[in-house]
Amino acid sequence: MANDRPRVLSGIQPTSGSFHMGNYLGAVRQWVALQETHDAFYMVVDLHALTLPQDPRELRANTRLAAAQLLATGLDPERCTLFVQSHVPEHAQLSWVMECMTGFGEASRMTQFKDKSSRHGADRTSVGLFTYPILQVADILLYQADQVPVGEDQRQHIELTRNIAERFNGRYGETFTVPEPYILRETAKIFDLQDPTVKMSKSSSSPKGIIDLLDDPKASAKKIKSAVTDTGSEIRFDPEQKPGVSNLLTILATLTDVTVAEVEQKYAGKGYGALKTDLAEVVSEWAAPFSARTREYLDDPETLDSLLAEGAEKARSVAAETLAQAYDKVGLLPGKH
C-alpha cells in the first residue's frame, strides 16, 4: 500500500541539542502529518553536522537526542522510516557522483554557505561546508522523493536538487524523480523573539530569541513575555508593520490548530500582555508532555538504537537500488558484491 503513496523525505541536523519552535512549526510538524498520507522517510543528518567542528561524544549524544525528539513529536516507526544518515552509506556514495555533476559557480551561489562561511572565516570553513548542499541533493534523490517538507531557508537547496536531477536525467536518461519543495506559507519562517525580522536560528539568534522545545517552561514563558513587540497596542496580523506580534500570532494559531484570523479576532481589543501570557501557557502545555516523552526514549537507548537500525535497513533497501542505477548510468563498472 505504501508504494501507491507519494514519497516525502526530509532531514534535521542533530547539532543543536533541543529542537526549537522554528524546526517544529516549519518542518517537523508537517512530517508528523505527512506520515499518514505519504510514504515518508525522515532522518537525522549526522554527516551534515560534521561540516562544523563537533565533539564526538556530544555528536553521538545529540544524534540520539534528535531521534528521541522526533519520536516524541509523534513520528511513528510503524508509519514512517526514521533513520540516521550515516547508517546508510549510499548517501556519501551518491554525493560524490552529484558533486561531479555540480558546477563550482553553482555551489558558490548557495546563500546558506555564504552566510555560514562569512561567520566562521575562510580558515575555519571546511570543504564539507561548501559541498553540504550536494550531500543534501543525494539525500533527496536516493529516495526518489516527490516532495521535501522543509522551512523556507531550505528552498534554495531544493531548487539545486531539482536542477541537478534534471541535468542527470537529461544527460543519462530518466533516473531521478524531480522533487517539489513542500513549504507551508504560514509557518515557512518562524522569527527570532528578540529580532522578529530574522529567522529563529540556533546559530545566529541569541538564546533569548529562541523557544527551545526542551527548555524549562518557566524559561520559555520568560522569553515569550520579553519578546519584542511593535509600537502601538493593537493585535493584528501584519508581518510588515508588526513582525513581532505577527510571529506570536502565527505560533499561537498553529499550536492550537486554528487560523491566524481566529486568533486575531479572539484578541481584538486586548493588549500584548494577554497574548503573551496565553502563548506562554500554550507552549508550556505542549512542551511538558513532549519533554517527558523525549526523556522516556532517551532512558531506553537500546530500544531507540534498535528502532534506528530497523529504519536504516528499510532506508538502505531503497537507497541501494537508486545508487546502483546511478552508478550504472554514469558508466561505473559493476563490482562483485
The residue range among 20-28, 53-61, 102-110, 321-329 that interacts with ligand TYM, by the rule CB under 6 A, is 20-28
* Residue 10: strand pairing partners: 42
Q: By CB under 6 A, is residue 244 in contact with ligand TYM?
A: no
Q: How far is Cα 81 from Cα 10, in angstroms, rounded to an integer?
A: 11
Q: Is residue 147 classed exposed, middle or buried when 0-12, 13-18 and 19+ CB atoms within 10 A define those classes?
A: buried
Q: By CB under 6 A, is residue 278 in contact with ligand TYM?
A: no
**Contact letters (x/-) for ligand TYM, 147-166, by CB under 6 A?**
-x-xx-xx------------
Pairing of strands 180-182, 39-44: unpaired
Q: SS3 string of 49-90? A: HCCCCCCHHHHHHHHHHHHHHHHHHCCCCCCEEEEEHHHCCH
Q: How far is Cα 320 from Cα 93, in angstroms, rounded to an integer?
A: 10
Among 39, 139, 212, 215, binds ligand TYM (CB under 6 A): 139
Q: By CB under 6 A, is residue 47 in contact with ligand TYM?
A: no
Q: How far is Cα 67 from Cα 84, in angstroms, rounded to an integer?
A: 8
- Is 22 labelled as part of a ligand binding site? yes
- Is 117 labelled as part of a ligand binding site? no
The residue range among 197-205, 283-291, 296-304, 318-326 that interacts with ligand TYM, by the rule CB under 6 A, is 197-205
The answer to whether the CB of 163 falls within 8 A of the CB of 107 is no
- Is 273 labelled as part of a ligand binding site? no
Footprint of ligand TYM on 164-193 (CB under 6 A): 189-190
Q: By CB under 6 A, is residue 13 in contact with ligand TYM?
A: yes
- Is 264 labelled as part of a ligand binding site? no
| Residue that is written with C-alpha cell 533569548 in the block | 208
Nearest to residue 160, comparing CAs of 182, 184, 188, 141?
A: 141
* Rounded least distance, CB 130 to ligand TYM, Å: 14
Question: Which residues here bind ligand TYM, judged by CB under 6 A?
Answer: 9-13, 22-23, 26-27, 45, 48, 136, 139-140, 148, 150-151, 153-154, 189-190, 199-201
Binding-site sequence positions for ATP: 13-15, 22-23, 151-153, 190, 199-203
Residues serving a catalytic function are 116, 199, 202
